C-alpha cells in the first residue's frame, strides 16, 4: 500500500502542478459562467429592425383588423416608456389582393420578395376562418417565411386574429360580450412540488413551484461534471500508460513495484485529481447558488452518492484505460482504441433527456442498473425531484462495485503482460485471451 | 552462500523457448557477468529474477527465498531499455525511486552519488535537459540509491563514452566493496573479462558457459598465439596448422589446429619475417564467444 501511495502522490503532483491543470480548473467554470452571462446579456437584445409582412386575406374580414392592431402596436408598444428608445420591431403590414386564379403566382412572387429581403414573411388567412368546424381546410392560417419554425412574429398574429374571430362569433350569436367574458377565460394547472414534513421538528414545508433549474439543470450539471471528471482524469490514463511503456519508464518502475501496484498508483492518482477538481466545482457551485438565492434547490442528499459513484467510475474506466494503454505501441494504436473504450462513458449522455423526463420509468430503472451506466444514470435519477425506490441506488452501487472489481482484475491481467511487450498489436481477441488465460 | 539460485527454469513465448532448463548460482558479494548474443535470453532471465516475468517451470530463489515480497526492495534493477519521467527534476526523481524502495538516509545518499558521478550541478534541473550520458548516470544512481544488496544491471555501459564507462565501472566496484552482489549483462567482452568474478554465457536459451574466466579458458587450453611481426597478417596466411586468424591490425591472434605445436609455427614464421612479440595464451573471452555464437559455429550446427 505504501508503494501505491507513493505512486499516487507522484501522479497527483504531476497533474495538479501543471499550468494547464490550473488554467483548465479556472477556465472551465469561467467558460460555463461566461456563456451564461453572454446568454443573459443577449437575451434582451432582440432584433428591432422593422418587419414588413404581406397579408392575403381570403376571409375579407381580417386584413383591416390586423393593420389597425399593428399600427396601434407600432405607436404604443415598441418604445420604452421611460427612455423612449425603440426596443421592438415595428410590423408593417401590406395587404395583397389576389383572386383564386392568380393565387399561386402571387405566392411565388411574395416568396421571391421574402428571399430578396423586401418582405419578412407573408400570411394567408383562409376564407372560413370564423367557422372552422364547417370546413377546417378553409379556416387555415398559413405563415410563410424562410425560417418559419424559429420565427417569433407568427406568435403575434395569434391574438388579433382569434380576438377578431371571437368578436364576430359573439356578434353572430347576438350575445352580450361582457356577460360571456368568463367563457373565454382559461384555467391553467400550476406546476408544484410536494409538501414536506420535517420528521424531527414536525414543521411543514409548503409545496413550492418547480422549475427548470431543479428539474433539468441540476441533474444535467451533475452528470456533466461526472463526465468531465472521468474525461479529465481516467481517460488520459490510456495515453499516459502508453507513453510510459514506449519511453521504457514502465520497466524501470517494475523493478520496484508490481504491475498491480503500478496500475493502482496511476488510478488512485486519477481519483485524487478528480476529487480535487469536483470538490472545487461543487463547493463553488453551492456558494454561487446561495449567492443567487437558489441554494435550497441543490439536492444535498445526492452529493455523497455523487462522490461515491465518481470514485468507482474513475476506477472502472481508469483500469480499462490503463490496460488498453499497456496494449498500445504508438499513438495510432491509442487513437483507434480510445473511442470504442469511451462509448460506455459517452452513451449515457445521449439518453440523458428521456431519463430526466421520466426518472422512475422502466427504461431509466433498467439502464441505471447496468453497471457501466449506473454512475451517470443513477445520479441523474437521484438529482431530479422525483423519488426513486430507496433500494435502487444501493443495488446500483453493489453492481458497480462488483463490475469495478472485475474491471481492475481484468485490467490488471492485461496490464501485467502487455506493459513490457513491444510490437504486439492490441487486438480484442488477444486482450480477451489475456484476461481469461493470463 | 548464494544470493541468487536458479534451478531448471524454462520460459516460452508463443512456442519460442527463450530460456531452456537454465540453472545458475550467484555467490554473495560477487560480480557475475551475463554474456550472450542478442536474443539469447539474457534479458528474459534477468526479468524472471526480478519477478517481472514468471518462469513456466523451475525455481528462482533470491536472497534465500522463492517469494520476493519485500525482498524486491533489496534489489536494484537497471533494465536495458530504460526511461525516466522527463518532467521531473533530478533530485526529485531520485527521491521518488528511493522512497519506492523504502530507502533510508535518502538525502545524504542522493547528494553523495550526484557528486560522485558529476551531476551535482544538475540536481535542480529537469530530466529532459540532461544529455544521454547524464541520463544514464542518473538512471544508475536511481538503481543503487537505496543501497541494495543485489544490483542487476542490463547493459549498463552501452552508449557511454570511455570517461563515463570508467566512472560507472568504478562506482560498480565501490558498491561491490561495500558488500553488494552484482549481476550485469554486457556485450563488451573486455569489460566482462576485467570486472567479473564469474561469467555466464547463454546461447539460444541454454547455458553454454558458467564459471570463472580462468576455468572457462582452461576448457579450451593454450591453443592461442598472439603475435606481432613485420608484414603483419600477410605472412600468416600461407602457414599450415592454423585454424583461424583474428586480425587486429597491429596484432594477430591465431587459433591453432589441434595437435599443432606452437614452436613449429614460430619457426615457420621466423623463416619468413622478424617477430617482435610472440605469446602462447589461452583464448580470450571474445574468441570463446565467437567460437560459440559466431558464423562458423552456426555452419557447424547446420551441417
Q: What is the CATH number of the domain that holds A125?
A: 3.40.190
The reply to whether A225 and A268 lie within a common domain is yes
Nearest to B79 among A2, A247, A252 (CB): A252
The per-residue pLDDT for A116 is 94
* Residue span of the structural domain in which A339 resides: 209-437
Residue A70 confidence (pLDDT): 94
d(CA A399, CA A405): 10
- Indicate if A401 and A295 belong to the same structural domain: yes
438 residues of chain A, pLDDT tens digit each: 788 999 998 889 888 888 888 888 888 777 766 776 776 667 666 778 899 999 999 999 999 999 999 999 999 888 888 888 888 899 999 999 888 788 999 999 999 999 999 999 999 999 999 999 989 999 999 999 998 888 888 989 988 999 899 889 888 988 887 777 777 777 888 877 778 888 888 888 787 777 776 777 888 888 888 888 888 888 888 888 888 888 888 888 887 888 888 888 988 998 898 889 888 888 888 888 888 877 777 888 889 999 999 999 988 888 888 888 888 888 888 888 888 888 888 888 888 888 888 888 899 999 999 988 999 999 999 988 888 888 999 999 999 999 988 888 888 888 877 877 776 677 777 777 777 765
B233 C-beta neighbours (distance < 10 Å), count: 15
In Å, how far from its chain's centre is CA B158? 11
Mutation target among B100, B128, B136 for the A interface, most CBs of A within 10 A: B100
Residue B226: strand, helix, or coil: strand
Task: Give me B137's grid cell.
Answer: 548516470
Would you kindly state where each structural domain of chain B is located, as residue ranges?
2-217, 222-281
Domains B2-217 and B222-281 share a fold: no
CA distance A67 to A64: 5
Asked if the model's pLDDT at residue B239 lies above 80, the reply is: no
Helix (H) or strand (E) holding A430: helix A428-437
Contact B269, B235 (CB under 8 A): yes
Do residue A6 and residue B99 have CB atoms under 8 angstroms apart?
yes
Write down the pLDDT at residue B281: 84
Coil vs helix vs strand at B233: helix
From the list A211, A174, A409, the residue with the least C-alpha distance to A296 is A211
Q: For residue B79, list chain A residues with Cβ-Cβ distance below 8 A.
A: 248, 251-252, 255
Count how many Cα atoms sit within 13 Å of the Cα of residue B242 in the half-sphere of its side chain: 22
Give yes or no for a contact between B275 and B262, defined as CB atoms under 8 angstroms apart: no
Q: What is d(CA A251, CA B79) in angstroms, rounded to the nearest whole number? A: 7
- Closest Cα in chain A to B89: A14
Task: Tell me the pLDDT of chain B averaged across its residues.
Answer: 85
A to B CB pairs, distance under 8 Å: 56
- Which of these ranges, A315-324, A429-438, B180-189, B246-255, has the smallest mean pLDDT? A429-438
Q: Which position has the grid cell 433539468?
A: A216
Closest-CA residue of B relative to A245 is: B83
Residue A310 and residue A248 share a domain: yes
- The pLDDT value given to residue A392: 92
How many CA atoms, within 13 angstroms, populate the side-chain half-sphere of residue A250? 27
**Spatial separation of the C-alpha atoms in residues B262 and B269, rounded to whole Å:** 11
The pTM assigned to this predicted structure is 0.73
Q: Does B52 touch chain A (CB under 8 A)?
A: yes
Other beta carbons less than 10 A from residue B212's beta carbon: 13
Which of the 8 DSSP states describes residue B247? E
Q: How far apart are CA A52 and CA A63, in angstroms?
A: 14
Q: Is the same domain home to A221 and A174?
A: no
Flag whether A29 is in a domain.
no
Residues A288 and A415 occupy one common structural domain: yes
Determine whether the interchain pair B83/A253 forms a contact, defined as Cβ–Cβ distance below 8 Å.
no
Does a structural domain hold residue A410?
Answer: yes
Q: Is the interface score ipTM higher than 0.85?
A: no
* Alpha-carbon gap: A2 to the closest alpha carbon of chain B (Å): 8
Report d(CA B127, CA B94) in Å as an integer: 11
- Nearest Cα to A339, choosing from A249, A246, A438, A235? A235
Classify residue A70: in a domain, yes or no. Answer: yes
Measured distance CA(A382)–CA(A356) in Å, rounded: 10
With respect to residue A44, please indicate whether it lies within any of the assigned structural domains.
no
- Residues B206-230 have a mean pLDDT of 84
Q: Verify that A172 and A233 share a domain, yes or no.
A: no
| CA–CA gap between residue A357 and residue A315 (Å, rounded) | 29
Q: What is the SS3 assignment for A258?
A: coil
Is the predicted pLDDT of residue B292 greater than 90, yes or no? no
Q: Which of B31, B53, B42 is nearest to B174 (CA)?
A: B31
* CA distance, residue B147 to nearest chain A CA (Å): 13
User: Of A4, A74, A1, whose CA–CA distance to A267 is shortest?
Assistant: A4
Measured CA to CA, the distance from residue A269 to residue A319 in angstroms comes to 12
Asked if A286 and A370 sit in the same domain, the reply is yes
- Residue A192 inside a domain? The answer is no
Cα–Cα nearest to A245, from A169, A322, A350: A322
And the C-alpha cell for B260?
Answer: 599443432
Q: What per-residue confidence (pLDDT) applies to A243?
A: 86
In the beta sheet, which residues pair with residue B11? B19
The vertex-B158 CA angle with B157 and B161, nearest 5°, equals 75
Chain A CB within 8 Å of residue B84 CB: yes
| Annotation: CATH topology of B222-281 | Alpha-Beta Plaits (3.30.70)
In whole angstroms, give the CA distance from residue A17 to residue A376.
29
Give the distance from CA A422 to its chain's centroid. 42
The pLDDT assigned to A423 comes to 66
Cα-Cα-Cα-Cα dihedral of A217, A220, A222, A227, to 10°?
A: -150
| Higher pLDDT, residue B243 or A144 | A144
Q: What is d(CA A411, CA A404) in angstroms, rounded to the nearest whole number?
A: 10
Residues 6+ positions from A375 with CB-CB distance below 8 Å:
A226, A309, A310, A312, A313, A316, A400
Euclidean distance between CA atoms A318 and A235, whole angstroms: 7
Mutant choice from A8, A14, A253, A256 vs B, greatest count of B C-beta within 10 A: A256
| Nearest Cβ partner for B52 among A14, A249, A420 | A420
How far is it, in rounded angstroms, from Cα A349 to Cα A368?
12
Q: Which of A323, A350, A308 is nearest to A234 (CA)?
A: A323
Does one domain contain both A380 and A244? Answer: yes
Residue in the structure block whose three cell numbers are 408544484: A192
The model's confidence at residue B302, banded by pLDDT at 50, 70 and 90, is: low
Whether residue A326 is found in the same domain as residue A433: yes
Nearest to B114 by CA among B93, B83, B87, B86: B93
pLDDT at A328: 84
How large is the greatest C-alpha to C-alpha distance in chain B, in angstroms? 69
Res A72: pLDDT: 93
Summarize the confidence of residues B126-147 as an average pLDDT.
89
The total number of structural domains in chain A stands at 2
Q: What is the pLDDT of residue A437?
A: 66
Alpha-carbon Rg for chain B, nearest whole angstrom, is 23
Quote the CA–CA distance of A243 and A261 in Å, as a whole number: 18
Burial class (CB in 10 A: 0-12, 13-18, 19+), A147: exposed
The answer to whether residues B127 and B138 touch, using CB atoms and an 8 Å cutoff, is yes
Terminal-residue alpha carbon distance, chain A: 24
Q: Return the number of other C-beta atoms located less than 10 Å from residue A323's C-beta.
A: 30
Residue B223 to residue B295: CA distance in whole angstroms: 20
Any idea which of A31-35, B177-181, B220-224, B246-250 has the lowest mean pLDDT? A31-35
Distance in angstroms (rounded) separating the CA atoms of residues B228 and B249 = 9
φ, ψ for residue B60, nearest 5 deg: -120, 125
Asked if A244 has any chain B CB less than 8 Å from its own CB, the reply is yes
- Interface probe for B, chosen from A4, A9, A245, A255 (most Cβ of B below 10 Å), is A255
Residue to substitute from A21, A251, A258, A266, interface B, most B β-carbons within 10 A: A251
SS3 track for B85-146: CCCCEHHHHHHHHHHHCCCCCHHHHHHHHHHHCCCHHHCCCEHHHCCHHHHHHHHHHHHHCC
Up-side HSE of residue B60: CA atoms within 13 Å toward CB?
21
CA distance A53 to A91: 7
Tell how strand B75-78 and strand B57-62 pair up: unpaired
What CATH number does the domain located at B2-217 have? 3.40.50.300
Amino acid at each position: 500500500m505504501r508503494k501505491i501511495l507513493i505512486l499516487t502522490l507522484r501522479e497527483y503532483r504531476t497533474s495538479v502542478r501543471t499550468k494547464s491543470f490550473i488554467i483548465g480548473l479556472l477556465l472551465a467554470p469561467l467558460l460555463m459562467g461566461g456563456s451564461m452571462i453572454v446568454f443573459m446579456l443577449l437575451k434582451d437584445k432582440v432584433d428591432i429592425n422593422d418587419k414588413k409582412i404581406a397579408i392575403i386575406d381570403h376571409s375579407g374580414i381580417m386584413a383591416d383588423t390586423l393593420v389597425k392592431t399593428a399600427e396601434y402596436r407600432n405607436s404604443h408598444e415598441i418604445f420604452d416608456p421611460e427612455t423612449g428608445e425603440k426596443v421592438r420591431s415595428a410590423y408593417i403590414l401590406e395587404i395583397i389582393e389576389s383572386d383564386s386564379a392568380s393565387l399561386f403566382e402571387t405566392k411565388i412572387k411574395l416568396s421571391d420578395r421574402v428571399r430578396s429581403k423586401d418582405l419578412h414573411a407573408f400570411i394567408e388567412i383562409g376564407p372560413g376562418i370564423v367557422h372552422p368546424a364547417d370546413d377546417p381546410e378553409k379556416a387555415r392560417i398559413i405563415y410563410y417565411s424562410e425560417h418559419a419554425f424559429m420565427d417569433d412574429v407568427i406568435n403575434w398574429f395569434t391574438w388579433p386574429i382569434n380576438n377578431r374571430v371571437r368578436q364576430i362569433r359573439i356578434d353572430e350569436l347576438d350575445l352580450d360580450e361582457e356577460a360571456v367574458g368568463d367563457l373565454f377565460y382559461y384555467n391553467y394547472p400550476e406546476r408544484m412540488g410536494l409538501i414536506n414534513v420535517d420528521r424531527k421538528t414536525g414543521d411543514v414545508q409548503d409545496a413550492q413551484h418547480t422549475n427548470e433549474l431543479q428539474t433539468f439543470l441540476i441533474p444535467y450539471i451533475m452528470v456533466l461534471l461526472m463526465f468531465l471528471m472521468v474525461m479529465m482524469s481516467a481517460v488520459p490514463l490510456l495515453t499516459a500508460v502508453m507513453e510510459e511503456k514506449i519511453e521504457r519508464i514502465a520497466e524501470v518502475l517494475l523493478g520496484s513495484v508490481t504491475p498491480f501496484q503500478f496500475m493502482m498508483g496511476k488510478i488512485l492518482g486519477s481519483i485524487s485529481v478528480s476529487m480535487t477538481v469536483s470538490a472545487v466545482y461543487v463547493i463553488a457551485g453551492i456558494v454561487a447558488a446561495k449567492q443567487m438565492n437558489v441554494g435550497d434547490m441543490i439536492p444535498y442528499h445526492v452529493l455523497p452518492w455523487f462522490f461515491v459513484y465518481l470514485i468507482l467510475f474513475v476506477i472502472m474506466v481508469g483500469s480499462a484505460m490503463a490496460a488498453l494503454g499497456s496494449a498500445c505501441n504508438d499513438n495510432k494504436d491509442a487513437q483507434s482504441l480510445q473511442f470504442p473504450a469511451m462509448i460506455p462513458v459517452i452513451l449515457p449522455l445521449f439518453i440523458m433527456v428521456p431519463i430526466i423526463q421520466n426518472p422512475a420509468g422502466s427504461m431509466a430503472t433498467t439502464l441505471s442498473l447496468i453497471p457501466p451506466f449506473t454512475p451517470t444514470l443513477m445520479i441523474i435519477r437521484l438529482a431530479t425531484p422525483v423519488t426513486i425506490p430507496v433500494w435502487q441506488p444501493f443495488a446500483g452501487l453493489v453492481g458497480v462495485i462488483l463490475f469495478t472489481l472485475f474491471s481492475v482484475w481484468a485490467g490488471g491481467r492485461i496490464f501485467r503482460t502487455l506493459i513490457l511487450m513491444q510490437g504486439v498489436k492490441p487486438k480484442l481477441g488477444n486482450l480477451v485471451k489475456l484476461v481469461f488465460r493470463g | 552462500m548464494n544470493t541468487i539460485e536458479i534451478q531448471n527454469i524454462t520460459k516460452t513465448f508463443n512456442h519460442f523457448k527463450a530460456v531452456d532448463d537454465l540453472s545458475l548460482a550467484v555467490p554473495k558479494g560477487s560480480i557475475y557477468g551475463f554474456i550472450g548474443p542478442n536474443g539469447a535470453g539474457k534479458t528474459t532471465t534477468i526479468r524472471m529474477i526480478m519477478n517481472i516475468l514468471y518462469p513456466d517451470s523451475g525455481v528462482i530463489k533470491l536472497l534465500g527465498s522463492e517469494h520476493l515480497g519485500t525482498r524486491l526492495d533489496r534489489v536494484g534493477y537497471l533494465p536495458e531499455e530504460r526511461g525516466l519521467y522527463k518532467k521531473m527534476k533530478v533530485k526529485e526523481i531520485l527521491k521518488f525511486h528511493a522512497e519506492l524502495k523504502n530507502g533510508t538516509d535518502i538525502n545524504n545518499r542522493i547528494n553523495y552519488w550526484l557528486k560522485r558521478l558529476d551531476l551535482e550541478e544538475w540536481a535542480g534541473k529537469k530530466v529532459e535537459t540532461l544529455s544521454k550520458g547524464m541520463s544514464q548516470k542518473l538512471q544508475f544512481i536511481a538503481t543503487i540509491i537505496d543501497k541494495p544488496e543485489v544490483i542487476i544491471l542490463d547493459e549498463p555501459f552501452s552508449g557511454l563514452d570511455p570517461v563515463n564507462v570508467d566512472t560507472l565501472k568504478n562506482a560498480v566496484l565501490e558498491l561491490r566493496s561495500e558488500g553488494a552482489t552484482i549481476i550485469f549483462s554486457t556485450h563488451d567482452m573486455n569489460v566482462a573479462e576485467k570486472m567479473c568474478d564469474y561469467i555466464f554465457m547463454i546461447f539460444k536459451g541454454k547455458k553454454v558457459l558458467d564459471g570463472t574466466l580462468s576455468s572457462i579458458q582452461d576448457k579450451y587450453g593454450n591453443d592461442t598465439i598472439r603475435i606481432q611481426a613485420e608484414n603483419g597478417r600477410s605472412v600468416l596466411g600461407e602457414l599450415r596448422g592454423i585454424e583461424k586468424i583474428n586480425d587486429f591490425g597491429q596484432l594477430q591472434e591465431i587459433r591453432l589446429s589441434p595437435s599443432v605445436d606452437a614452436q613449429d609455427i614460430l619457426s615457420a614464421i621466423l623463416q619468413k619475417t622478424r617477430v617482435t612479440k610472440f605469446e602462447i595464451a589461452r583464448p580470450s573471452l571474445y574468441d570463446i564467444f565467437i567460437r560459440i555464437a559466431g558464423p562458423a559455429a552456426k555452419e557447424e550446427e547446420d551441417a
